[in-house]
Amino acid sequence: MQEIETQAINNYQANIDFFKNHNEIVYNKLIALQTLLENETFTPKYDLIYENDYFDVIELKSGAKLYNENSIEFSKQIVENITLKKDSQSFRSLRKINFEDDAFDKLKDANSYTTFANTAEIYSLYHHNITPSTHMTEIDKYIFLGLGLGLHLPISIKKFDFQIVFIVEDDLELFRLSLFTIDYKKMLTGRTSYFSIADTPSEFRARFGGFYTNAFFKNTYIKFHLFSSAYESKIEEIRSILIGRPEATYSHNRILEKNRRVLEKINEKYKFLDLRKKEKEDYFQDKPWLVLGAGPSLYKNAQWISENQDRFIIIAAFTALNTLKRIGVKPDIAVQVDENLYTTNEMIQKLGDLSFLDDTLLFFSASVSPELFNLFKKENIYLHEDRTKYKLAKSTLTVSSVGDTIYALALIFNTPSIYLLGIDLALGADGSSHTPDHFKARSIESTKSQNETTDDFQLADTIIQTRGNFRQTIDTTPLFALSIPVMNHFTNIYKAPHQTIYNLSDGCYLEDTTPKHIEDIPLTKELHKQDIKKELRHYFDAISTIELEKTEIDGLYCRKSQLHDYYALIEKFQNSSHTNADMFLASIITLVQEMVNHECIFEIKDIMTIYYMNITPYIDDFFHTQELKNKKKFTKKFKSILVKNIMKIVRTYDEDLHRLDRLKKEKENSQAKA
């Protein structure tokens, strides 16, 4: 027994040293807990015991044992239950997409702005040959949801040779006990490991994001083990993350279209806002901002808004305008980021007469529907970029919704007091998604998914729970939940110490905000709105630019150089030879790495990264399917499809870039000399 105790203590110290060298976050948590235990300022919940030749954990309060059986045999059985079958104990990170014959014929020859135009042939080839019931040839990425004492980890990792593992344990004290029983250094040396130990939800998302993007071409099916039912919520959380991943919600073709529209607005000499935070700017010192989204709380508090509109500078989402118009409120600033032509026309049609916005300043993403620009005076419009970088960092604001945008702008322009209303990011008590005046308002019924994979998990209609602003938990959807980490991110990067954010909505909780019921707001003096509107215009004109500056012009030539490199890489891939599927996959990985790791960080790099994240998992899974026969015959087909579509994307970006007046004139002069 003494020998077992000595070995366990030595193992613990070796593991502490391992985490000190390889994972500082986990190490600091372990040392903090160890200090509390040594100082007897923390009362332990568990004790590690060794009896009948195996370890177990006993809960001190109840006397219950974690395993209550031979933990070694229990762990061996866990490993026996791990299979190579794709649809067993796995997350399907990419949706199954099928096409009717007529639609497929049109898509494969459509331009690169068209959804699925560059992916349809790959998806179709995959789904015609591979089914979810097939088997992997290997498991490269694996998730352990809950550990116990972790005894099954070294056995399974050795048996299946996992290359990338994600280890999740919410109980730090229990995780600490695993350091006595298994050797993390021996188990994980030569592999890539990610740990989520006693993390907050936002920390968990960040850790999972690192795991997911590493070797993303292995993501079609991600296998996992659930140690206990206590971790079932993590399955739902991961599903929510997967379906809301940036590459899943914002395809490469949308960025191509966005890119083209931004270039058009630069040519047309619209004003682009400088969004660099002005720490010393005090114009808004005594002018609180009321930030209005279109959530259910907007409708509920409409009367209060109407009565107190002159006490705030009001910045509102376009989706909130119908409610504001109905109650006689004219926002000082209205914001729109949606690019969709159909939804824009639907919203404008419902708004009707737009004259109530004659004196309102309009903040648009430069890529909003072109029809929107024709409805308003050019001098009232101010633009920012979203996912493009032609104005470098000055005008770029990457968002997931208009609610994120109005919040970020309020922070950026440095007002000390910010009041959020209608940014619920959650469902109302009656299941309502928005204020009833919203052009897409509806009620969402509870349809929680319980499937093993993500096939039936819908972005807009599945109900999940998250922390509430006033209530402990509230119902939301994965679509709304996408904005929560974005808004928290904006808080972290933009919020200054002197700024206070009051969340008035009966919706989700937002970090570093103060929940406040609307009746508890101390009302300030009324503002002279006519003067303020003139001052706002002067203020925003002063921080806007029309022409590209020298550094921005230099960026254009960096883009041209990047395109030259991309053409060379595509040609190199096209001319590469391979005698088997493994060599073919290696050549794809080389192409992807060289393109996405290019030193220039402009739009085409993001476009190609998203494209590859959506198609390479299909290709890798295709050639790592046990049931697939004669794999080599498919390499030529995939190569032809890839070269065709990659070249089409790059050429589209190239042609759009040369629509810029400056580059267009250079191209015309060059052609004239030739």
pLDDT value at position 460?
52
Residue for token pair 């790059």: 650
Q: Which amino acid is present at 332?
A: D
For residue 451, the model assigns a pLDDT of 39
How far does CA 244 lie from the centroid of its chain? 6
Quick one: pLDDT at residue 430?
A: 67
| pLDDT over 60 (residue 600) | yes
* Cα→Cα distances 535→336, 343, 530, 539, Å: 22, 33, 9, 6
Return d(Cα 591, Cα 569) in angstroms, integer. 7
For the stretch 127-185, pLDDT in tens is 999 999 999 999 999 999 999 999 999 999 999 999 999 999 999 999 999 999 999 99
Answer yes or no: is pLDDT of 557 > 80: yes
Say whether 436 sits in a helix, a strand or coil: coil
For residue 465, the model assigns a pLDDT of 84
**How confident is the model at residue 449, as a pLDDT?**
40
Cα–Cα distance between 232 and 211 in angstroms, integer? 19
Q: What is the 3-state secondary structure (H, E, C) of 616-657?
A: HHHHHHHHCECCCCCCHHHHHHHHHHHHHHHHHHHHHHHHHH
Rounded average pLDDT over 526-541: 92
Can you give the pLDDT at residue 441? 52
Tokens at 450, concatenated: 């319980």
CA 189/CA 540 separation, integer angstroms: 55
Nearest Cα to Cα of residue 494 among 293, 283, 203, 275: 275
668's tokens? 């015309």
Helical pair 603-623 and 550-575, crossing angle rounded to 10 deg: 20
| Crossing angle (nearest 10°) for helices 603-623 and 581-596 | 160
For residue 573, pLDDT over 80 is answered with yes
Residue 166: closest CA among 230, 93, 222, 94: 222
**Strand ranges, E, within 9-129:** 46-51, 54-59, 90-92
Q: Which residue has the tokens 């105790």?
A: 5
CA terminus-to-terminus distance, the chain: 88
pLDDT at 243: 83
Is residue 442 scored above 70 in pLDDT? no
What pLDDT is recorded for position 97?
83
Sequence length of the chain is 674
Query: What distances in angstroms separate CA 250 from CA 31, 237, 401, 543, 672, one per listed residue?
Result: 41, 20, 12, 30, 40
What Rg value do the Cα atoms of the chain yield, rounded? 28
| Mean pLDDT in residue range 376-384 | 96
CA–CA distance, 231 with 145 (Å, rounded to integer)? 6
- Residue 276's pLDDT is what? 84
Q: What is the structure's pLDDT at 345? A: 87
Helix (H, G, I), strand (E, B) or coil at 253: helix
Question: Which stretches does DSSP call E strand in 390-472?
Answer: 417-421, 464-467
Contact 219, 169 (CB under 8 A): no
**What pLDDT score was predicted for residue 453?**
40
**How many Cβ atoms are within 10 Å of 252's Cβ, its own excluded?**
25
Cα 145 to Cα 224: distance, rounded to the nearest angstrom: 7
Per the prediction, the chain carries an average pLDDT of: 91
| Statement: residue 280 has pLDDT above 70 | no
Q: Kindly write down the DSSP assignment for every residue of 313-342, as one continuous string.
A: EEEEEGGGHHHHHHTT---SEEEE----HH
pLDDT tens for 417-441 read: 999 999 999 987 766 665 656 545 5
Position 86, amino acid: K
Percent of the chain with pLDDT over 90: 76
Question: Does 275 score more than 50 pLDDT?
Answer: yes
pLDDT tens figures, 67-87: 999 999 999 999 999 999 999
The span from the CA of 137 to the CA of 624, in Å, is 5
pLDDT of residue 284: 83
pLDDT at 293 over 80: yes
Q: What's the pTM?
A: 0.90
- Sheet strands (E) in 494-571: 500-503, 514-515, 544-545
Phi, psi (deg, nearest 5) at residue 108 = -65, -15
CA–CA dist 465, 236 (Å, integer): 10
| pLDDT at residue 462, as a whole number | 74
**444-455 pLDDT, tens digit each:** 554 444 333 444
Query: Lowest mean pLDDT: which of 200-204, 307-311, 374-378?
Result: 200-204
pLDDT over 60 at 94, yes or no? yes
